[in-house]
Structure 1
Amino acid sequence: MLPACAYLLLGGLNLLTGYSKPAGEAALGLCPFCRRGELRLSYAEEEVVGFGKLLLLVYKCENCGYRASDLMPLEAREPASYKVRIEEVKDLNIKVVKASSGFVEIPELGVEIKPGPASEGYVTNVEGLLARIEEAASTLKGDRGVEGNLKVFLETLRKAINGVKVFTVIVRDPLGISALISEVPGKVERRPLSREEAERLRRQLVGVAFEYK
């Protein structure tokens, strides 16, 4: 998730630019991770069809190699939950807007992606989301404690990527930044989060970046 200094700077940029397609770089000061290099922020505006305008943010430190990304909406959004059933190959093209504050769940695979220190924001599709999960899970190879279950999980995940397994994707965001977007009307179920749901998720905004059951 972005450090506080990045959000403060971007808040100022928003007021100054009036959201007129800002793009460029800015220095955020001393890197909070290595305390030696300079943390720099790159930002660019993009409009996602069916979602609206947002800022794509990338911040990095050349000294220690730290790099992370996130999204910031340029239009007011309410906390919401999105749910979609992936039933055929073309459904894998459904767009996923996932901010660092987004919670993602795929019950049939036992997957949960929760906000945490390593959580990032990105725009992809369901196929790209599965590829990210596969890459994260593959880092556990060689761990004898999970080796058997991991093999089964990766085989099931590969079926989902190949479009031969039906599954559900659920995205919830207490800040309203994340979303699922389909070109097919009614394909994605959307509902606003209740005040209690949003507050409960906000309290979980520091947690595990990836886990599978």
Structure 2
Amino acid sequence: MNNGNVECDYCPSCNRKTLRVTNTVISIPYFGEVLDFTILCSNCGYRRADIMPIELKEPSRYSLNVESQCDVSIRIVKSSTCTIRIPELGVIVEPGPLSEGYISNVEGLLSRISKVISMGMKMGQDEEKEKGQELIDKINRLIEGQETVCIILEDPLGYSAIASDKAIKESLTEEELKELKFGDSCFEIESDIN
């Protein structure tokens, strides 16, 4: 592991000279070496994080059937260019300028999605709040191993991965690459999911 800390000039949010950049090179099974970096302002709390592989990768799709409570501990590497799909939940998370990379596990990924749904429920109508609560309940059952889903990571730069022998890795075709969005950050829940 190789670490480096650099004090930067000024924070883009508060304009104080309190921004710290942390770089760490780590090795991830099934994936290789990645640069994990975080930018954090000690004054205002501004934060950006991402992971980038050291070596070039090919555009890829990882699929994982989450079928038991043991599966929620499987490691996930999600880059800032990754689209996440969970068809059984009707969830699509697409990358954009504010998208961050992170290393977590299935439970962490599901918890992040649950938090976004919870935030959205605060602004929604009664019907949307009810649907949001149903999704959160389903996510909680998934984490407890009582439900099953397929988690799909699609990354045009190949910087994302699921570190498990259970995961299926496929190359993305040119047509599939054209379908991936690179616009503003987007979180979508399809309306026709039960």
CA-based RMSD: 2.0
Question: Which residue of structure 2 aligns with residue 189 of structure 1?
Answer: 168
Q: 2:21 aligns with which of 22, 38, 41?
A: 41
TM-score normalised over the length of structure 2: 0.87
Q: Does 1:75 align with 2:55?
A: yes
Displacement of 1:36 after TM fit? Answer: 4.2
Displacement of 1:26 after TM fit? Answer: 2.2
Q: Secondary structure at the match of 1:191?
A: strand
Q: Does 1:97 align with 2:56?
A: no
**What are the residue-to-residue correspondences of 1:1-213 with 2, within 5 Å?**
21-145=1-125, 146-182=128-164, 184=165, 187-201=166-180, 204-213=181-190
CA distance in 2, matches of 1:119, 1:178: 13
CA distance in 2, matches of 1:195, 1:26: 39
Query: Could you list the runs of 5+ residues in structure 2 that have no partner in the other structure?
Result: none
Displacement of 1:195 after TM fit? Answer: 2.8
TM-score normalised over the length of structure 1: 0.79
Query: Could you list the runs of 5+ residues in structure 1 that have no partner in the other structure?
Result: 1-20
Q: Which range moves more in the overlay, 107-116 or 27-36?
A: 27-36
Report if aligned partners of 1:40, 1:61 keep a CA contact under 8 Å in 2: yes
Q: CA-to-partner distance for each residue in 1:116-139, whole Å, 9 max, x for gaps?
A: 233211111111211111122222
Q: Secondary structure at the match of 2:64?
A: strand
Runs of 4+ aligned structure 1 residues displaced above 6 Å come to none
CA distance in 2, matches of 1:94, 1:144: 33
Report if aligned partners of 1:83, 1:168 keep a CA contact under 8 Å in 2: yes
CA distance in 2, matches of 1:76, 1:142: 41
Report if aligned partners of 2:69, 2:144 keep a CA contact under 8 Å in 1: yes
CA distance in 1, matches of 2:122, 2:109: 23
Displacement of 1:163 after TM fit? Answer: 1.0
Displacement of 1:209 after TM fit? Answer: 4.2
CA distance in 2, matches of 1:199, 1:110: 21
CA distance in 2, matches of 1:159, 1:105: 18
Report if aligned partners of 1:45, 1:56 keep a CA contact under 8 Å in 2: yes
Report if aligned partners of 1:70, 1:99 keep a CA contact under 8 Å in 2: yes
Q: Percent identity?
A: 36
How many residue pairs align between the two structures? 188
